[in-house]
Structure 1
Amino acid sequence: MVALLAAALVSGCSTGADQVDVNNGGEFRFVEATPSGEVIPPVERAAAPEFSGTLLGGGGESFSSVELVGDVAVLNFWGSWCPPCRVETPEFQEVYADVRVEGVQFLGINVKETSEQFAVAFVDRFGIEFPSVYDPRGEVALAFRDYPATAIPSTIVLDRQGRVAAVYTGAVSEENLRAVLDRVLAEEV
């Protein structure tokens, strides 16, 4: 467990002391990250927590996780300040462009930005079409306290029932994401 947490901190842009106190008086609990290309067996999956937030650059438009139910969903915790996100996010856009018609939704969760302008510039620069929730205080990350959403980037794949099918800390390759989505999409409803 300690090695996993250390690997997450090395491979991602982890949160620091200057960021929101995601512990909120408690202690974060982590599940083990899913190995590359692997999916949590359906009988072992837990329901993802419900969350809501304001869409990035959406003029105050709100988003609720209930909008994801019925589709496979990719939740990606990112920040414009995170070097691995600059590699991963454009690859996610390529996958999104290919699979959005197959019942797959992507949702970015932008965390710990000092200004929404930085996040909007990042999205514009990389031509990202999927929405992102602007979460500067880490409130959505707090909802996922049982998963390693404090290591940035982190990615959580949900099945059609809103259960956690895969959890990744650090950057996820385009090939790995496609393999996981193919497996989850192939599951019977």
Structure 2
Amino acid sequence: MSRPFSRRTLLLAAGAAAGALAGCSAGEGGGAAATQEYEFTEPTPAATVIAEGRRAPAPAFSGELLDGSPFDSSSLAGDVAVINSWGSWCVPCRVETPEFQAVHADVADRGVQFLGIDVKDQRQLAVAFVEELGVAYPSVFDPRGEVAMAFRGFPANVVPSTILLDRTGRVAAVYTGQVRGDDLRTAVELLLAEDRA
């Protein structure tokens, strides 16, 4: 008689554990998400950020900048970060990038870092692109899209796309497709207004 009870208890416990794990993905309820690494579920509406209690930590990543110097995501720690995937071949990127540069120029001295991720590109074309558009922030050269793959489930084939990190390194917004400069500025200001505690 005790065996069915034990089996039922084990099944209930297993079900509860599965439910707890399911609730840990980004964008799905509660503060549990903050204890698990980020996993993409859906884009964030324009000019908004994910509620603080629902954010999950961004994965660590590294690579080589367009100028050949090494980059590690740990250098973003403590700042709001804007990570933008782009390519010199991407028409919306040509529209979006000058707007991003304008926002960068306005907020760079307020604890906001910008990082481009150049994907599916040739280094010479990418360098020419940033020089022509006067982009002052660095870009990782990532022709195989390895950085996007670090963000589990992230649609690496969507270019441009943008990820915002809060000061604690959690994913605070994910925008797929072109982002208007005014919408980016609004989202960045929301993150800057959050308590540093």
TM-score, normalization by structure 1:
0.81
1:141 to partner: Cα distance: 1.4
Residue 55 (structure 1) aligned with residue 62 (structure 2) = no
TM-superposition CA deviations, 1:71-119 (whole Å, max 9, x none): 0000000000000000000100000000000000000000001x20000
Displacement of 1:30: 3.8
Greater relative contact order (CA < 8 Å, ≥ 6 in sequence): 1
Question: What is the Cα deviation at residue 137 of structure 1?
Answer: 1.3
Structure 1 stretches of 4+ with a deviation exceeding 4 A read none
Given that 2:40 and 2:151 are in contact with CA atoms closer than 8 Å, whether structure 1 keeps it comes out as no
Give 5+ residue unaligned stretches, structure 2.
1-38
Superposed counterparts of 1:1-189, under 5 Å: 30-56=40-66, 58=67, 60-113=68-121, 115-189=122-196
Deviation at 1:139, TM superposition (A): 1.0
Percent identity reads: 61
Amino acid at match of 2:58: A
Secondary structure of 1:133 counterpart = strand
Q: CA deviation at 1:138?
A: 1.2
Tell me which amino acid in the other structure corresponds to 2:48: E
Q: Deviations over 1:151-172 (max 9, x none)?
A: 1000000000000001000000
Contact kept in structure 2, 1:149 and 1:169, CA below 8 Å: no
Q: Which amino acid aligns with 1:91?
A: E
Contact 1:31–1:148 (Cα < 8 Å) also in 2? no
- How far is 1:37 from its partner? 1.3
**Bigger radius of gyration among the two:** 2
> What is the distance in 2 between the residues matched to 1:84 and 1:49?
27
Q: RMSD across aligned C-alpha pairs, in angstroms?
A: 1.0
Q: State the AA in 1 paired with 2:92.
A: P
Structure number with the higher helix fraction is: 2
Instruction: Tell me the TM-score normalized by structure 2.
Output: 0.78
State the aligned residue count: 158
CA-to-aligned-CA distance 1:3-59 (integer Å, 9 cap, x gap): xxxxxxxxxxxxxxxxxxxxxxxxxx7411011111100100010110000001x1x
Distance 1:150 1:177 in 2: 21
Partners of 1:128 and 1:53 in 2: CA distance? 19
Q: What is the alpha-carbon distance in structure 2 between the residues aligned to residue 109 and residue 80 of structure 1?
A: 11
- Alignment partners' CA distance in 1, 2:80 and 2:159: 22
In structure 2, distance between residues paired with 1:166 and 1:149 = 16
